[in-house]
Amino acid sequence: MPLNQKLPSPEEAWLPFEPTAAQPFGRREAAHLFRRAGFAANSRELDEAVKLGPQMAAKKLVAAEEGEFAGKMHSFAQTVLATNNSQTLAAWWLHRMLHTPAPLLEKTTLFWHSHFASSSAKVTDTRLMFNQNELLRRYALGKFEPLVMGIARDPAMLIYLDSATNRKTRPNENFAREVMELFVLGIGNYTEKDIQELARCFTGWEIQYGAFKFNRYQHDYGSKTVLGKSGNFDGGDSVKVLLEQPATARFLCGKLARYFITDESDLSPETIEPLAQKLRASDYTFAPVLETLLTSRLFYSQASLGKKVRSPVELGIGLLRSLEATAGLPQITDQIRELGQMPLFPPNVKGWPGGMAWINSSTLLGRANFVRQLVQDNDTLFGGISLEAYIDKLGWKTADQVVDSLSEILLAVPLPKDVRSQLVAQIEGGRDSRLTKLKKTVHTLGSLPEFQMA
């Protein structure tokens, strides 16, 4: 890929990426799409995507349906909920990410989980966390307004924010503050007075016995002024006022761009603006916006390729999905937690900070050890067979083929030449069995800085 390739201007950024001889849509680019829009892809999926081309491949991800899988997961969840064990529910979610036929839906649900963060550490009724998770999934690619309204009535969220009661004589500002700061508008786009007025709109919105209830005796029916608009607003009206603010679409698109395009916050407001306009024009519907994003020139530019740090979930589930590996779920869940991202347990209402914050000494070593443990465990199967048989089946015979194909699948950034030769030499030389050598190659690749990038 040419270095110093010019980044697309704000006008060009969101135009569809059209492959050229100089910048083709090959397996590496397809792998980029799947790493961002899902949890990485295996060799067969990459071949299919390359045939479809970038536009169709992204459309397919946006349109993917869960089908029977949804029902299966639902009944699986009921068994888990009977035990009220939040750790097991987290494992259930990871299982879902691992096997879903609609990875973008799941990836976006995870985005909303960090955006509308609530934690099982405080919400001890696991069923409430499950219901919230279903809510996030229902609207993940759909409309924002019903999503926000759902969150405003969501027992898990209101319990998490100490907002299960909100009386007219003493409005609870906690939820209103997070709506302004973290959920809808973003910091700097409102005043303290707006928060107080918004809190009044939500008075009487209560949680009783784990369910939402509107208590009309506690609702303040007086006139409120939120962001310059006045009226006898209730919660729903006030959300409409917030969605009219241009800052809302900018804030959400900025966050989507950080999640799907790059951790580095140097995307200019001018670059974000066209996407924000698209979000407003679609009445805040996410599917078309994500399709634009995932097919854009910006998405396939140097501003995006290899410019994200893999989260622990992306790393763990991605490794398993890209090699079709199956391993013990409780163990995987445990390891992903140790790497710093336990689903259903975000660190606070701001969600996981992501990016460079994933990386420290213990998590980097933990990531390498995770890969080793997975490949060294004799119970781990790859496509139902051993790693050696799996690689043979894919037709990767020579050491060069093995290193190049594995790199293509596992790494977001190509290996430096001499590292590549070192790995090839490791397979060609030595007295280890081929299986041992292949395991070591995956372990080494999975320990390198390139593997930490998404």
Partner 1 sequence: MTTSRRRFLSTVSAVTAGGLAALSSRAPRFLLESAAYGAETKGEKILVVVQLSGGNDGLNTVIPFGEEKYKKSRPSLAIDGAGGVVKIENGYGLHPSLRACEKLLENRQLSILQGIGYPNPNRSHFESMDIWHTAHTKPSRESGWLGRCFDAHKDTLAKAIDPPGMHLGEEVQPLALAARDLPAPSIRSLEQFRLETGGDDQQRSVITSATAAPRAAGNDLLKFVQTRATSALDLSRRMQASGTGYKTTVSYPETPLSQKLKNIAHLIDAGLTTRVYYVSIDGFDTHSDQAGAHASLLDQIGGALAAFAEDLAGHGQLDRVMTLVFSEFGRRLQENASRGTDHGAAAPVFLVGSKVKPGLVGKHPSLDDLDDGDVKFHTDFRSIYAALLEKWLGWPAGPILGDMWKPMECLA
**Residues of the shown chain interacting with partner 1 in the complex, contacts defined by CB under 8 A:** 3-4, 121-122, 162, 174, 263-264, 302, 306-309, 338, 340, 347-350, 353, 355-357, 359-366, 368-369, 372-373, 376, 413, 416, 418-419, 422-423, 426, 440, 443-444, 447-450, 452-453
CB closer to partner 1 out of 438 and 448: 448
Q: Least distance from C-beta 52 to partner 1, angstroms?
A: 28
CB closer to partner 1 out of 394 and 410: 410
CB closer to partner 1 out of 148 and 375: 375
CB closer to partner 1 out of 211 and 365: 365
Alpha-carbon distance of 274 to 272, in angstroms, equals: 6
For residue 439 the two structure tokens come to 């395991």
CB closer to partner 1 out of 177 and 321: 177
CB closer to partner 1 out of 223 and 433: 433
Q: Least distance from C-beta 17 to partner 1, angstroms?
A: 19
Report which of 13, 10, 134 is spatially closest to residue 77, judged by C-alpha positions: 134
CB closer to partner 1 out of 30 and 411: 411
Alpha-carbon distance of 42 to 55, in angstroms, equals: 19
CB closer to partner 1 out of 302 and 401: 302
Please give the DSSP secondary-structure letter assigned to residue 40.
-
- CA distances for 422 relative to 167, 304, 396, 409, 434, angstroms: 67, 28, 18, 19, 16
Question: What count of other Cβ atoms lies within 10 Å of the Cβ of residue 211?
Answer: 11
Q: Least distance from C-beta 307 to partner 1, angstroms?
A: 6
Q: Least distance from C-beta 224 to partner 1, angstroms?
A: 24
Alpha-carbon distance of 146 to 239, in angstroms, equals: 10
Q: Least distance from C-beta 101 to partner 1, angstroms?
A: 31
Question: What count of other Cβ atoms lies within 10 Å of the Cβ of residue 227?
Answer: 19
CB closer to partner 1 out of 137 and 367: 367
Q: Least distance from C-beta 427 to partner 1, angstroms?
A: 11
Beta-bridge partner residues of 208:
211
CB closer to partner 1 out of 79 and 360: 360
Q: Least distance from C-beta 373 to partner 1, angstroms?
A: 7
SS3 224: strand
Q: Least distance from C-beta 174 to partner 1, angstroms?
A: 8
Q: Are 195 and 171 in contact (CB under 8 A)?
A: no
Q: Least distance from C-beta 278 to partner 1, angstroms?
A: 27
Beta-bridge partner residues of 382:
325, 385
Q: Which is it for strands 211-214 and 224-226: parallel, antiparallel or unpaired?
A: unpaired
281 Cβ contact partners less than 8 Å away, ≥ 6 residues apart = none
CB closer to partner 1 out of 57 and 161: 161
Q: Least distance from C-beta 453 to partner 1, angstroms?
A: 6
Q: Are 128 and 165 in contact (CB under 8 A)?
A: no
SS3 7: coil
CB closer to partner 1 out of 327 and 349: 349
The residue length of the chain stands at 454
| DSSP one-letter string for 279-344 | HHHTTSBHHHHHHHHHTBTTTTSTTTTT-SBPPHHHHHHHHHHHTTEE--HHHHHHHHHHTT--TT
Question: What count of other Cβ atoms lies within 10 Å of the Cβ of residue 417?
Answer: 8
Residue with tokens 């309204």, as numbered in its chain: 149
Q: Least distance from C-beta 18 to partner 1, angstroms?
A: 23
Q: Least distance from C-beta 374 to partner 1, angstroms?
A: 12
Q: Are 249 and 284 in contact (CB under 8 A)?
A: yes
Alpha-carbon distance of 313 to 345, in angstroms, equals: 13
Q: Are 1 and 23 in contact (CB under 8 A)?
A: yes
SS3 432: coil
